[in-house]
Amino acid sequence: MGLCEDLEKAKHIANERVTVDTEVTGSPALIYSLTLCSDGGGIADAVVYDGGSNKGDRKIDLRVIDDDMRPLFFDPPLYFARGIYVDVGSNVESVLIQYHPIRE
Protein backbone atom coordinates (compact mmCIF):
# COMPACT_ATOMS: atom_id res chain seq x y z
CA MET A 1 0.00 0.00 0.00
CA GLY A 2 1.39 3.42 -0.93
CA LEU A 3 1.61 6.53 1.21
CA CYS A 4 -1.54 8.07 -0.29
CA GLU A 5 -3.57 4.91 0.38
CA ASP A 6 -2.21 4.68 3.95
CA LEU A 7 -3.03 8.33 4.60
CA GLU A 8 -6.57 7.98 3.27
CA LYS A 9 -7.16 4.87 5.40
CA ALA A 10 -5.68 6.52 8.52
CA LYS A 11 -8.09 9.47 8.23
CA HIS A 12 -10.98 7.11 9.04
CA ILE A 13 -9.38 5.32 12.00
CA ALA A 14 -10.11 6.75 15.44
CA ASN A 15 -7.61 6.48 18.31
CA GLU A 16 -8.67 6.49 21.92
CA ARG A 17 -6.52 6.20 25.03
CA VAL A 18 -8.60 4.59 27.78
CA THR A 19 -7.57 4.83 31.46
CA VAL A 20 -10.91 4.02 33.18
CA ASP A 21 -13.89 1.84 32.26
CA THR A 22 -15.22 3.47 29.08
CA GLU A 23 -17.78 3.06 26.34
CA VAL A 24 -15.56 3.84 23.36
CA THR A 25 -18.45 3.84 20.88
CA GLY A 26 -22.11 2.87 21.04
CA SER A 27 -22.34 2.02 17.35
CA PRO A 28 -20.93 -0.88 15.32
CA ALA A 29 -17.18 -0.65 14.75
CA LEU A 30 -14.09 -2.37 13.43
CA ILE A 31 -11.11 -2.77 15.78
CA TYR A 32 -7.72 -2.56 14.08
CA SER A 33 -5.47 -2.70 17.14
CA LEU A 34 -5.32 -2.70 20.93
CA THR A 35 -2.32 -1.93 23.11
CA LEU A 36 -2.34 -2.63 26.85
CA CYS A 37 0.28 -0.79 28.94
CA SER A 38 1.09 -1.75 32.54
CA ASP A 39 1.63 0.96 35.16
CA GLY A 40 4.45 -1.07 36.73
CA GLY A 41 2.42 -2.16 39.76
CA GLY A 42 1.97 -5.78 38.71
CA ILE A 43 0.20 -7.79 36.02
CA ALA A 44 -2.16 -5.51 34.06
CA ASP A 45 -5.48 -6.69 32.67
CA ALA A 46 -8.45 -5.34 30.72
CA VAL A 47 -11.48 -6.79 28.94
CA VAL A 48 -13.06 -5.57 25.70
CA TYR A 49 -16.81 -6.10 25.24
CA ASP A 50 -19.11 -5.96 22.23
CA GLY A 51 -21.73 -3.57 23.59
CA GLY A 52 -22.09 -0.40 25.61
CA SER A 53 -21.14 -1.83 29.02
CA ASN A 54 -19.62 -4.84 30.73
CA LYS A 55 -23.01 -6.53 30.23
CA GLY A 56 -22.15 -6.96 26.52
CA ASP A 57 -20.47 -9.99 24.99
CA ARG A 58 -16.99 -10.49 26.41
CA LYS A 59 -14.73 -10.65 23.34
CA ILE A 60 -11.09 -9.95 24.22
CA ASP A 61 -9.14 -10.55 27.42
CA LEU A 62 -5.93 -8.53 27.63
CA ARG A 63 -3.11 -9.28 30.06
CA VAL A 64 0.48 -8.11 30.24
CA ILE A 65 3.28 -8.69 32.74
CA ASP A 66 4.44 -6.02 35.16
CA ASP A 67 5.98 -2.91 33.59
CA ASP A 68 5.39 -4.01 29.99
CA MET A 69 3.08 -3.35 27.06
CA ARG A 70 1.47 -5.57 24.45
CA PRO A 71 0.19 -4.40 21.07
CA LEU A 72 -2.31 -6.59 19.19
CA PHE A 73 -3.07 -6.00 15.51
CA PHE A 74 -6.06 -7.45 13.68
CA ASP A 75 -5.98 -8.03 9.93
CA PRO A 76 -8.74 -8.26 8.99
CA PRO A 77 -10.13 -5.98 11.70
CA LEU A 78 -12.52 -7.39 14.30
CA TYR A 79 -16.21 -6.51 13.88
CA PHE A 80 -18.11 -5.34 16.97
CA ALA A 81 -21.85 -5.21 16.20
CA ARG A 82 -23.10 -3.26 19.25
CA GLY A 83 -20.23 -0.94 20.09
CA ILE A 84 -17.01 -1.17 22.07
CA TYR A 85 -16.65 -1.08 25.85
CA VAL A 86 -13.29 -1.37 27.63
CA ASP A 87 -13.28 -2.57 31.25
CA VAL A 88 -9.93 -1.49 32.75
CA GLY A 89 -8.68 -3.88 35.39
CA SER A 90 -5.71 -3.71 37.74
CA ASN A 91 -2.32 -2.07 37.19
CA VAL A 92 -3.27 -0.48 33.85
CA GLU A 93 -1.60 2.71 32.67
CA SER A 94 -3.74 2.77 29.53
CA VAL A 95 -5.38 0.85 26.71
CA LEU A 96 -4.90 2.37 23.26
CA ILE A 97 -7.60 1.34 20.82
CA GLN A 98 -7.62 2.04 17.08
CA TYR A 99 -11.03 1.54 15.53
CA HIS A 100 -13.33 2.65 12.75
CA PRO A 101 -16.91 3.49 13.79
CA ILE A 102 -19.49 2.26 11.29
CA ARG A 103 -22.38 4.62 10.70
CA GLU A 104 -25.37 2.60 9.51
pLDDT level of residue 104 (50, 70, 90 thresholds): low
Bridging pattern class, strands 92-101 and 29-38: antiparallel
SS3 95: strand
Beta strand pairing status for 84-88 and 44-50?
Answer: antiparallel
- DSSP character at residue 8: H
Give the model's pLDDT for residue 5. Answer: 73
What confidence score (pLDDT) does residue 6 get? 65
DSSP letters, 35-58, are EEEE-SSS-EEEEEEESSSTTSEE
C-alpha closest to that of 94 among 78, 70, 77, 73: 70
pLDDT of residue 31 exceeding 80: yes
pLDDT of residue 83: 96
pLDDT in tens, 34-74: 999 999 999 999 999 999 999 999 999 999 999 899 999 99
% of residues, the chain, pLDDT over 70: 93
The fold adopted by the segment(s) 14-101 is Jelly Rolls (2.60.120)
